[in-house]
Amino acid sequence: MHHRYIKIILILLGFFKVSFLTAQQQPNIVFILSDDAGYADFGFQGSKEFKTPELDKLAKKSIKFSQAYVSAAVCGPSRAGILTGKYQQKFGFEENNVPGYMSTSGLVGDEMGLPLDQITIANYLQDLGYKTALFGKWHQGNADRFHPTKRGFDEFYGFRGGARSYMPYDDSNPLSKNEDRLERGFGNFLEHEGYLTDELAHEAISFINRNKKHPFFIYLSFNAVHTPMEATAEDLEQFPHLKGKRKTLAAMTLAMDRAIGTVLKELETQGLSNNTLIVFTNDNGGPSDANDSDNSPLSGTKANHLEGGIRVPFLMSWPKQLQKNKNYNYPISTLDLFPTFLSAASGNSSAMEELDGVNLLPYLKEENTERPHELLYWKKENRAAIRNQDWKLIRFPDRPAELYNIQEDISETNNVAAAHPEKVRELYKQLFTWELTLERPLWQLRREFEGKAAKRMDAFRKTNTKQ
């Protein structure tokens, strides 16, 4: 009997040893998302005006993607695609879930969010033994049933809506809406001290310290550099050569860069850097009308389907697995994050037929030299776009479609639709075939806002590309 107990104990110790090794081999995953940043507003993207020393250092340790796309040109749908790895139109999340939109059942604003039948990447990582956390902006539904802690995140510190002040709410800075409130966990509303960008980084660092013995997934979802345009006096002083919104945007970007640097430094201090997969990207193109962001050399801006609305900066670092200081030039999508993260965590996404993203790791390790995507799609209301290899068609509700060869014309200045009518027909047919697979939008813009949206779109088209 004594020997039997010893044998059982040895078996259990062996089991725990294997489990421990497996946990240690799984990489930590830190996904950093900026909000409404301009394509060119980072040093590693060529900016001579803005200062981003921490991200520039990360870029030298990363694979930099020259043709990274989001699945939507506005915040909420783009984030829904990231979280699910699917075109968000497949489950009706086609518009921002904000006041001014109404569902077919009459629900408005707060009562609309990421459908509860959609499983997030955080859910899957939890099942694989990860500790998961979201710090910052959620924007996937303000109602309690959509709360991050009910969608795969063990911890949450942030706000449920789409934007809020960077400063604490108090008598001098009154709260505008309930969803603007900062929240720790579920229902524990509290205000921070100092500048919110810094606070979100501090929360991420605390989480790293508390969970460094487990594989963890951090979704660091900055509201920087989304409006309101608010920066500290110290950061504004760093840009005496700039004025107005551009000056404030530069200061907000510097603050975000510095905050990111503190998180990356903590990973190094804890000896976790080599086995941490880090991704930095942006949720959509910069809204040059709202914050004076620079999307050059791309045409367009947030909310439209020109490259400036949907192409974003993108860095990926994993020292243990991927080369550093390398460029990847085929088009990819933020939809690819879900299967890539799942595969890195030793999960299997190959049997998940509903995913539209692909696991990027074989492509980045040059095990697969083909394009990750032959086709990419975008749609919002009657507006849509399709990219087939280097050809891109943009469909408008009020004028003929436009056709561009993106490889030859990154700024989309030469519409060649008239010269290639057969290509226009081909892409129209492919776009229509894809649209037949989609659900009807769960909510749409109220009629009184439609005229404003159309005017804004026309204004975007008339905006000259900054050079």
Instruction: Indicate which CATH number applies to the domain containing 439.
Output: 3.30.1120.10
pLDDT surpassing 80 at residue 24 = no
Mean pLDDT of 331-340: 98
- Whole-number pLDDT of residue 273: 97
Instruction: Answer yes or no: is 18 within a domain.
Output: no
Q: Is 403 in the same domain as 354? A: no
Q: What is the enclosing helix (H) or strand (E) of 220? A: strand 216-221
Is residue 7, in this structure, part of any structural domain at all?
Answer: no
Segment 69-95 shows an average pLDDT of 97
Clarify whether residues 338 and 360 are in a common domain.
yes
7 pLDDT higher than 90: no
Please report, for the domain that includes residue 152, its CATH number: 3.40.720.10
Q: Tell me what pLDDT residue 54 has.
A: 98
With contact defined as beta carbons under 8 Å apart, do 378 and 71 qualify?
Answer: yes
**pLDDT (average), residues 71-91:** 98
Domain termination residue (choose one: 341, 374, 407): 374
Pair 69, 142 in one domain: yes
Residue 129 falls inside a structural domain: yes
Residues of the chain with pLDDT > 70, as a percent, come to: 87
Q: Judge whether 10 lies within some domain.
A: no
pLDDT at position 112: 85
Do 68 and 182 have their domain in common? yes
Residue 45 has pLDDT above 80, yes or no: yes
Whether residue 80 is found in the same domain as residue 156: yes
Q: pLDDT value at position 105?
A: 59
Of the candidates 374, 409, 440, which is a domain's last residue? 374
pLDDT of 22 above 60: no
Where does the pLDDT of residue 101 fall: very low under 50, low under 70, confident under 90, or very high at 90 and above?
low
Do 368 and 429 lie in a common domain?
no
Look at residue 463 and give its three-state secondary structure.
Answer: coil
Higher pLDDT, 176 or 341: 341
- Confidence category of residue 25, pLDDT binned at 50, 70, 90: confident
pLDDT digits (tens, 9 = 90+) for 215-263: 999 999 999 999 999 999 999 999 999 999 999 999 999 999 999 999 9
Does one domain contain both 191 and 58?
A: yes
Question: CA dist 210 to 131, 136, 205, 250, Å?
Answer: 10, 19, 9, 33
The domain boundary residue, chosen from 350, 374, 398: 374
Rounded to whole angstroms, the Cα distance separating 450 from 456 reads 10
Concatenated DSSP letters of 42-88: SGGGT-SSS--HHHHHHHHTSEEESSEE-S-SSHHHHHHHHHHSS-G
Number of domains in the chain: 2
Degrees to nearest 5, angle at CA 172 with 229 and 176? 65
Per-residue tokens: 405: 């060869």
Whether 126 and 94 map to the same domain: the answer is: yes
One domain, residues 383 and 353: no
Per-residue pLDDT reduced to its tens digit, 109-158: 667 899 999 999 999 999 999 999 999 999 999 999 999 999 999 999 99
pLDDT attached to residue 14: 41
pLDDT digits (tens, 9 = 90+) for 366-424: 999 999 999 999 999 999 999 999 999 999 999 999 999 999 999 999 999 999 999 99
pLDDT band at 447 (very low <50, low <70, confident <90, very high): very low
Residue 408 lies in a domain: yes
Q: Is residue 224 domain-shared with residue 169, that is, in the same domain?
A: yes
**Mean pLDDT, to the nearest integer, of 268-280?**
98
State pLDDT tens for residues 313-329.
999 999 989 999 999 99
- Does residue 75 fall inside a structural domain? yes
pLDDT reading at 164 higher than 50: yes
Q: Do 322 and 391 lie in a common domain? A: no
Strand order in the sheet with 28-34: 188-189, 183-184, 155-159, 131-137, 216-221, 28-34, 276-282, 314-317, 63-65, 326-328
Mean pLDDT (the chain) is: 90
SS3 154: coil
177 confidence band (pLDDT: 50, 70, 90): confident
Q: Give the span between the Cα atoms of 150 and 131, in whole angstroms.
A: 14
User: Per-residue pLDDT for 453 more than 80?
Assistant: no
Domain holding 94, by residue range, is 27-374
Among residues 310, 290, 312, 313, the alpha carbon closest in space to that of 300 is found at 310
Does residue 13 belong to any structural domain of this protein?
no
14 within domain boundaries: no
Q: Taking 80 as the threshold, does the pLDDT of residue 450 lie above it?
A: no
Distance of CA 303 to the CA centre of its chain: 15
Asked if 64 and 35 sit in the same domain, the reply is yes
pLDDT at position 2, please? Answer: 46
